[in-house]
Amino acid sequence: MNAEFFAEWFRRQGYRVLRTSSSYWYEAGPRIYQAFPYDWIIEPSEEELRGLLLKNNAIALRYSTPAGSAEGKISYHVVCENMDYDLKCLCRQTRQNVKRGLQSVNIELIPLARLATEGWNLRRDTLERQGRTGAETKEWWHRLCMSAADLPGFEAWGAMNNGHLVASFLGFRCDDCYHLLHEQSSTAHLESRCNNAIFYLVICEALKRDGISKVFFCVQSLDAPVSMDQFKFRMGCTAKPVRQRVVFHPWIRPVVNNLTHKMVSEIFQRNQGNRLLAKAEGMLRFYLEGKRPPEQQDLPECLIESKNELSTTAFFAGGQEG
């Protein structure tokens, strides 16, 4: 299954999709382009980036580049690359939660149509827990799910309790990587540990498949706290060091500075629920921090424990990732 199916999924949802020599890009926000597949770590030339910005009148681009690159915010991908992944990889408490969850729910592949309908209640619960009520709509969710209905590589996983869907995943296989794109669960059933169960079983099942070498969850968010990823780390995932690079249109760069960032941050503090402002603040912060030497950047909490190792390799030695 290749990246073109991923691109078609975005097109069907109404996103504009572009292709360059290094990657695919979709318009994640108004004239803001995100590179995908998300696990790709790319090194586009400055000429390629400039052409992409100018030809499409884009405001900014965002992509992941090797940890040893000369520029970019020190960041990470949340992945599981442990081909021996099993319960022994988890701490005692998490193992108990997984076992309890597996006793409470049945987990199996479900039709995407069921994810599109029953899955919305789970999605709404998840958004409420994250403080993002109203960020998505039922119509948006239905379109997202059904856009994948006949595309190779896409599938839905469901955790059932007495026949009721209580947790779900939208997954997609792209070459050797299994992407877990969207996970949602019922607030009323969290105590059953359905989240632990579905995370564990889907990772296990994905890594058993021929040709799969990793399960990819997410790129470090622009605006969410790192604590949002702690559950994934407890489930045996790791933080793979990368640099996230934000590139602004040449006409905009002269006004992207610390003063601009401060102004946007202050406006956002008065409008905490504004998702567009949250993303704008994150883009400015990642851009400005990515211009600094690694030793002057804030290291994400999940990378602090490996700082000594990192200091002799990618980020701080200036060497290229192997």
pLDDT category, 306, cuts 50, 70, 90?
low
Residues of CATH 3.40.630.30 domain(s) within the chain? 82-212
- From 27-31, 133-137, 235-239, the region with the lowest mean pLDDT: 133-137
CATH topology of domain 82-212: Aminopeptidase (3.40.630)
6 pLDDT exceeds 70? Answer: yes
Q: How many CB atoms lie within 10 A of CB 17?
A: 18
Q: How many angstroms separate the CA atoms of 306 and 303, rounded?
A: 5
pTM of the full predicted structure? 0.91
Q: What pLDDT shows up at residue 305?
A: 67
Percent of the chain at pLDDT exceeding 90: 84
Structure tokens at 144: 């997202």
193-215 mean pLDDT: 97
- From 11-15, 168-172, 267-271, the region with the lowest mean pLDDT: 267-271
* Residue range 92-108, pLDDT digits in tens: 999 999 999 999 999 99
Q: How many angstroms separate the CA atoms of 62 and 29, rounded?
A: 11
119-135 mean pLDDT: 90
Q: How many angstroms separate the CA atoms of 291 and 314, rounded?
A: 16
Structure tokens at 126: 């998840």
Structure tokens at 161: 């309790």
